[in-house]
Structure 1
Amino acid sequence: MPEPVEGPPYFGDGRLSRARTWLYLRCGLEARTVLALAVVLAVAGGLALHHFWTGRPRTVRVAPASASALLPRAGFATSSATFPSAAPAPFLSVGPSVSPSAVTVDVAGKVARPGLRRLPRGARVADALTAAGGPLPGTDTTALNLARPLADGEQILVGIAPPPQAPGAEAPSGEAAGPVHLNTATEPQLDALPGVGPVLAQHILAFRAAHGSFSSAQQLREIPGIGPRKFAMLQPLVQP
């Protein structure tokens, strides 16, 4: 006896039944499966729409600060008597002879225009010579430390010897009163020489400590930092 052939389920008559029959024959799906898939797709679409809507960029408005937020904390009075307006500081007039940003020096000797010169604070001896018109032709300025900062009220002698000093008096700051003895000079005395700063003065003292007393000024050539030009400037100002 032949086995019965399984066929599509019977869904009844009518358009809905024919649609169910066509869906089963074409896609192999029953109506309940299609309905379940439709529900899943609808839920997924709803979640995607909700995620897109809540994640969209939005403009956030900041509420203006209220006047009470700008007041001091509790416990502090806010009246004008407690917080008086700051009165402007009185203006102090400064006379023409006193200026915190300038120095006055006396440039004397062999310069084009000797006399008092007012220069900005921090100016150098070279700036004072320029303000005085420069040294006269043939004037020897090797005894001057042109890089030394100026001090208010000092005198700069160009091309002339300083006046004799009383016993115990010190030479003007930065200027050598006479030849510097290399074997007895201190660091400030060496630093006052033209072209010699604190570092080179320490090198000279270290050389003296390592090699003993200087026998000749020519030994300065053996110290690093003293070349022919600087030695020519120092030679007439120093001696052993």
Structure 2
Amino acid sequence: MDVSGKVHRPGVQSLPAGSRVADALRAAGGVRAGTDVTGLNRARVLMDGEQVAVGLPQAQAQAQAAPGTAGGAAGAPGSSGPAAPLSLSAATKEQLETLPGVGPVLAQHIIDHRTENGGFRSVDELRQVNGIGDRRFAVLRPLVQP
């Protein structure tokens, strides 16, 4: 787990499987005073290799996120989708809702699927989500990553 941004000890943290964002923040010495963490889901379970960017502007957090990690944030509200591929295994419901054709119900189906199956190992698993047919999958495929 790579914790970057406004924490006391940024860097790679070794955490046990099943750890949450809150555990990563503690391992990095905690969040610096005055840092806004309202957009950070501290209860989310982490996947190996993720980056958690703390207190960084959205565009900067995207630039620091490596491909295949959850550090990438969704595009601005009203945009046509995320600026970088969105991690199906780590995106928040709000981030998923920025994808074209994904509203609150479908976003919840995606979250339910990843919870039941331990995340997404490939984008093709998105086809197994209730409400995602061939047409919707074709639109979403280039916008997401496992």
TM-score, reference length from structure 2? 0.47
Identify the structure with bigger relative contact order (alpha carbons < 8 Å, sequence gap 6+).
2
TM-score, normalisation: structure 1: 0.31
Q: Which has the larger radius of gyration?
A: 1
